Amino acid sequence: MAGNERLERLRYELQRRDDPDHLLVASAENRRYLSGFTGSAGALLITPEEQYIFVDSRYTEQAAEQAPGFAPVQVKENARDTLREFLSDLDPGRVGFEAGHTTYEEYCNLTDEIEAVQWVATSGVVEKLRQVKDPEELDMIREAAWTADAAFEEILPSVAPGRAEEDIALDFEFCMRRRGAEGLAFPLIIASGVRSSMPHGQASDKEIERGDFITFDYGARRCGYCSDATRTVVVGAADERQSEIYHVVLRAQEAAVAAIEPGKTGAEIDEVARDIIEDAGYGEYFGHGLGHGVGLAVHEGPSLSRRRGTTPLEPGMVVTVEPGIYVPEWGGVRIEDLVVVTEDAGEILTGISKDLVVIDA
């Protein structure tokens, strides 16, 4: 793994921000990103010259294998005591902690019990580095997307009136696992009929009925990396309103994907899709942002939204483009692709056709 280059970028970023040059990294994804260590507990301490990994006896061997560039520090009775002893020897002065991944209780414990250092809240430092993916990361995201798409194609023919959403979800998950996913990127969203107006309607015991829209929002995880895609299908021939709304969303989605290029902000891309939906008269039914970054976390930076989409896109960023129209008590449509920003455009990583699929009923 490209660990050393990531650490160099991190040290540069800390310097650039005027953050402390010592950083305690405790969040699972950031820990994995910097060190390669996948265990469920542990912390990294990054200093200007060295990098340490604190793990207890359950993980000593795994840490040595996965994070060979990190000096191991064995956690004995409890992590705080070990950290306190270690830091009092090191005497680093200021140490940064990850404010977004530290509970208030953990913060109090750090400041109360490890008084020898000055704790400084840092925010989104490693997350910023994670936004731009290297080729190795892109391969894993591509594989996750292919796995999920292949599973979707496999289960689609079995979708029929009378089957419960959660029954389809079970097959879908099994199929992804059998095709090599280590798990789901997030709980499957399968929302049919009036439930499709809930953007995040998790699969329920509702049975599929003739005339339903069904929204499938699905992602696989491979080597820690997530994919994320949405397709909406209709059960039996679409009526006029279903067809109209579907095609408004599709037009907005395709225009936004086509607008992606380095230098533009997420807000600008959001606006492309939102304008089309507003012009068609459905603006009030598109309540969420257009998209988000995807990587080790299924929701990460950069954001493609009006308010938070201030980051200019850069080659190597991976984002979703997922406009939707959700009409309460009626139903909804969302179409979502995973897109990697290239040198001059956006390349779609999800491979399923966006023509409206009609399920025989």
- In the complex, the residues that contact Zn ion under the rule CB under 5 A are 217, 228, 230, 320, 336
Contact indicator for 242, 213 with CB cutoff of 8 Å: yes
Q: Minimum distance between the CB of residue 155 and Zn ion, rounded to whole angstroms? A: 17
Q: Minimum distance between the CB of residue 245 and Zn ion, rounded to whole angstroms? A: 19
Residue closer to Zn ion by CB (options 305, 320) is: 320
* Other beta carbons less than 10 A from residue 79's beta carbon: 18
Contact indicator for 19, 126 with CB cutoff of 8 Å: no
Q: Minimum distance between the CB of residue 179 and Zn ion, rounded to whole angstroms? A: 19
For 117, residues 6+ apart whose C-beta sits below 8 A from its C-beta are 22, 87, 92, 93, 94, 95
Please choose, from the candidates 341, 339, 336, the residue with its C-alpha nearest in 3D space to the C-alpha of residue 313: 341
For 155, residues 6+ apart whose C-beta sits below 8 A from its C-beta are 168, 171, 172, 175
The token duo for 49 is: 């010259």
Residue closer to Zn ion by CB (options 98, 322) is: 322
Contact indicator for 171, 133 with CB cutoff of 8 Å: no
Residue closer to Zn ion by CB (options 96, 219) is: 219
Residue closer to Zn ion by CB (options 147, 230) is: 230
Residue closer to Zn ion by CB (options 212, 228) is: 228
Q: How far apart are CA 311 and CA 112, in angstroms?
A: 37
Residue closer to Zn ion by CB (options 131, 320) is: 320
Q: Minimum distance between the CB of residue 186 and Zn ion, rounded to whole angstroms? A: 7
The DSSP annotation for 268-337 comes to: HHHHHHHHHHHHTT-GGG--S-SEEE-SSSSSEEEEESTTT--SBP-TTBEEEE--EEEETTTEEEE-BE
Residue closer to Zn ion by CB (options 28, 338) is: 338
Q: Minimum distance between the CB of residue 126 and Zn ion, rounded to whole angstroms? A: 21
Q: Minimum distance between the CB of residue 229 and Zn ion, rounded to whole angstroms? A: 6
Contact indicator for 227, 269 with CB cutoff of 8 Å: no
For 251, residues 6+ apart whose C-beta sits below 8 A from its C-beta are 276
Residue closer to Zn ion by CB (options 63, 184) is: 184
Where would I find the H helices in the chain? 3-17, 28-35, 60-66, 79-90, 104-113, 125-130, 135-155, 165-178, 240-259, 266-279
Residue closer to Zn ion by CB (options 10, 297) is: 297
The token duo for 331 is: 């139903």
Q: Minimum distance between the CB of residue 174 and Zn ion, rounded to whole angstroms? A: 20
Q: Minimum distance between the CB of residue 77 and Zn ion, rounded to whole angstroms? A: 42
Specify the pairing of strand 358-359 against strand 189-192: unpaired
Q: Minimum distance between the CB of residue 92 and Zn ion, rounded to whole angstroms? A: 39
